Amino acid sequence: MRIMMVAGEASGDLHGSGVVRELKRLAPDCEIFGIGGDKMQAEGMRLIYHVRELSVMGIWEVVEHLPLLRSVQRTLQAVLKSSRPDILVLIDYPGFNLRLARFAHDLGIKTLYYISPQVWAWNRGRIRKMKHIVDKMLVVFPFEVNLYREEGIDVEFVGHPLLEVLTEPSGRAEFCTRYQLDPSRQILGLFPGSRKQELERIFPAMLGAARVLHRESGIQTVVGVSSILEYEFVKSFLRGDFPVVLVQHGSYDVMKNSTVALVTSGTATLETACYGTPMIIVYKTSFLTYLFARAFIRIRSIGLANIVAGKEIVPEILQHHATPRRLAEEALKMLENEGLRRQISAELSAVRKSLGSPGASERVARRILSWA
C-alpha cells in the first residue's frame, strides 16, 4: 500500500506523525511519502520536502515564496502521476493542499483531508468547492461536522490529536530546579510561534512585556522554543539585559508551569488551554495581510481556545495594539488576581473536554487503510 501525505506546517508535522506511527503499526509494509517534518520522518515517512521549506505566513510572504511553492507543487503533481498512490492524505495547509486535491481528483486518486481548513472563519464558500475534490473529511472540532454535512460532504469527527501528544509535564519543583528558577516567584511563559516571520514580528513585543514585568514585579521569563526553529536564531533576539530561559523540546513543561503565558495565535493556544494556564493571545502580521483578514474573517475571535469555547475566555491583543506595555498590563491583571486565574483555568478545562477522547491518530489511520 502506498500512501502520500502532505503537511505544510509544524502543527501538521506533529499531528501527522501520530498518523504515520499508527499506519506503520497497523500495516508495517505500507509505504508513506510526501511532505512533513522531523516528527513524521522519525515515524517512518520518506520526505520529498521538509515543512520548513513551505512554512510561510501572510499574503506578501506567500507572494515572495510563490516560485518555490509552485515548484514544489509541480514536483508533487509529477509524483502523483508517476507513483499513483492508493490514497492522498492532506493535513490542513489549505491554499496549497486544496490545489493538490483538485489535481489528485482529476487523476482519480482518492483524497482524504485530515484537520479541516478554517473555512468557518473566513471562507465558507470554499466548502462547496471541496465537495467535488475531497472524498472524506476527518475533523478535529465537533462544530465542524454540520458545516460539511450540510454541503453533502462525507465527514467524521475523530477527536483532537493534541490529547494523545500532551505529555505529563514536570512538577514545579523539578521544573524550577532543572532551569535554575526560583519556585517561590511567578513565571511568565512566552510562546512566540514556529515561523521565522512570527518571531520577527511578535517576539520583540513579548520580550518587551517580559522586560517591563521583570523590572516592575521581578517575574521570571521562560520561552518555549518551537522544535523546528534554530535555537541560535531565537537566542539572537535576546539583549542580555534581563534573565530569559530558552527551552526547546520542553514547551509543555513551560506551559504547565507558567503562571501566565503570552501565546502566538495558533495551535499553541489550544495546547496552553489543555494545561489550564491563563494566557494572552497575541498576533501581528503584515499590514496587507491584516487588511485582508479584517475584510474576510467572519468570526469574532482568532484564538483557537476562544473559538472552541464559543466565547472570549482569554484576551486577544492584535496588530498595533500588541505593544510591550499593553501586553504587560494585561498579564499583570492576571498575575495580581489569583481568583481571575482560577476562573480562567476552570473555563479552559471545559475547552479540553470538548476535544473528544484520545486516540485520534489511530482512528485516522484505520480510516485511511479502509479507504485505501
* 2-160+356-371 is classed CATH 3.40.50.2000: yes
Q: What is the mean pLDDT of residues 343-365?
A: 95
For residues 209-226, give the mean pLDDT.
96
Class assignment of domain 172-353?
alpha beta
Mean pLDDT score across all residues of the chain: 91
Per-residue pLDDT tens digits for 337-353: 999 999 999 999 999 99
- In total, the chain counts a number of residues equal to 372
- Whole-number pLDDT of residue 219: 97
Q: What integer pLDDT is reported at residue 109 of this predicted model?
A: 97
pLDDT tens, position by position, 93-110: 888 899 999 999 999 999
Residues 42-70: tens digit of each pLDDT: 999 999 999 877 765 544 455 556 677 88
In the chain, residues under CATH classification 3.40.50.2000 are 2-160+356-371, 172-353
C-alpha separations of 173 from 182, 199, 263, 341 in Å: 9, 30, 23, 20
